[in-house]
Amino acid sequence: MKLGILKEREEETRVSIVPAVVQRFIKELSFEVYFESGVGQKAGFSDGDYMKAGAALMGRDEILELLDIITIINPFDTPFQPNSPKTVISILNPLFRTGELGKMTHSNLTLFSLDMVPRSTKAQAMDVLSSVASISGYKAVIKAAELYGSVFPMFTTAAGTIRPAKVLIIGAGVAGLQAIATARRLGAIVHVFDVRSSAKEEVQSLGANFIEVEGAAENLNAGGYAIEQSQEFLEKQRALIDKYVSESAIVITTANIPGKRAPLLIEKSSVEKMKHGSVIIDLAAEQGGNCALTVDQQTVTHHGVRIVGDSYLSRELAETTSQLLATNYFNFLKHYVQLDTISRTDDPILTASMLIQDGELVNERILSILNEEVC
């Protein structure tokens, strides 16, 4: 098979396949690999690195016209040829961007989105969400430490003692857990809120304090994600979060619900109770944000508090993130090519992650959302 690696949009620093993984495609799967010039430049990989790994340089138009499989993180606005069969592997957040999928319904395009891969033991090595979230959680704490006007750990000097920073982390998924671990290593006092009671033990094992609001709805079939809550619970939740936000120097929010607007957890009035110089990092910004003042891809200052809205902090650590994503892409394609055509139609990993087949929307979750919007 022939694989093409496409260059990303201007704002995207990550790359879908790195040179080390090119070698694996060639040696383990006998792929021919081609790449667009400059594909990995923003992630720290030169064209020479790709050629040394065994890939060949090819123009964008030729990749789009001639190759069987194309990898790219965000394929929107990519001019795919309508009469050239293509399998495209991407990461789209399609449950939140269903309206944009119409752009991709070309006559011979089959589109997979790796963030739709089910959370299962078999698919663990393909889990791009965990790869990105882990880096984002780490970077959120580092960024907050850079913006914060004091230090994280306790300092005892001849001039006196500086108390450790108080950090509140909302959401104890992969990003939240990495943020907890990083903040604890830096010496902060960490409190964590999550609607899932099952997160308590893991949070406490990292040395953080778990904040619990009784009465949360949980769903064992939600794949480890939070689900929507009742209005009564949300009111109790906001009151408790308000208390901890006002006492914290750093707040990192990671709470998302797949396909829905991110839950609004921090009110404007709560931000106004924080000390000047405090920092909020909102990793749920793309889906509306957990803070009422969040603006996606912007830093807003309100009452002396900086609110950073950025769901793509992993782009600031592009080399490491790309290495993880490339391995996820490789494991997915390895699984894909090992199945025959008939087996692919019944495979739970492929059916969950396939959005479009031969130009037609086929994903049941996407179709369900679109039907709800019509009704």
Q: Assess whether 71 and 143 both reside in one domain.
A: no
**Confidence class for position 237, pLDDT limits 50, 70, 90:** confident
306 belongs to a structural domain? yes
Q: Which two tokens stand for residue 180?
A: 């907890």
Task: Say whether both 154 and 70 belong to one domain.
Answer: no
Q: Judge whether 7 lies within some domain.
A: yes
Domain span holding position 86: 2-116+317-363
Are residues 235 and 155 part of one domain? yes
Considering the domain boundaries, does residue 125 fall inside one?
no
- Segment 168-177 shows an average pLDDT of 97
Q: Alpha helix locations (H) across the chain?
A: 19-29, 47-52, 60-66, 128-147, 174-185, 200-205, 231-247, 268-271, 318-338, 341-346, 348-353, 364-374
Instruction: Give the separation between CA 66 and CA 96, rounded to whole angstroms.
Output: 31
Are 26 and 68 part of one and the same domain? yes
Last residue within a domain, chosen from 316, 331, 352: 316
Helix (H) or strand (E) holding 300: strand 298-302
* Residue 127: inside a domain: no
Identify whether the C-beta of residue 1 lies closer than 8 Å to the C-beta of residue 69.
yes
Catalytically annotated residues: 119, 124, 127, 130, 225
Please indicate, yes or no, whether residues 197 and 297 belong to a single structural domain of this protein.
yes
pLDDT tens column, 88-118: 999 999 998 888 888 788 768 999 999 999 9
Residue 259: per-residue pLDDT: 84
**What average pLDDT score do residues 135-141 get?**
99
CATH number at residue 20: 3.40.50.720
Residue 219 pLDDT: 53
Average pLDDT over residues 128-145: 98
| 127 has a pLDDT exceeding 90 | yes
For residue 129, being part of any structural domain is answered with: no
pLDDT at 225: 55
Q: Do 60 and 170 have their domain in common?
A: no
Instruction: Please check whether residues 229 and 307 belong to one and the same domain.
Output: yes
**pLDDT > 70? residue 375:** no
**pTM for this model (two decimals):** 0.92
CA separation for the pair 85, 68 (Å, rounded): 7
Among 5-14, 205-214, 219-228, which stretch is predicted with the lowest mean pLDDT? 219-228
**Are 175 and 35 part of one and the same domain?**
no
- Residue 223 has a pLDDT of 54
Angle between helices 318-338 and 19-29 (to 10 degrees): 10
Q: Where a domain ends, among 316, 338, 355?
A: 316
Whether residues 110 and 48 fall in one domain: yes
- The predicted model gives 254-267 an average pLDDT of 92
Residue 124 domain-assigned? Answer: no
265 and 202 both lie in a single domain? yes
Q: Is 126 among the domain residues?
A: no
pLDDT at 341 over 70: yes
Same domain, 269 and 335: no
**Taking residues 39-57, what's their average pLDDT?**
99
Residue 332 resides in a domain: yes
Do residues 170 and 185 share a domain? Answer: yes
pLDDT of residue 78: 82
Domains held by the chain: number: 2
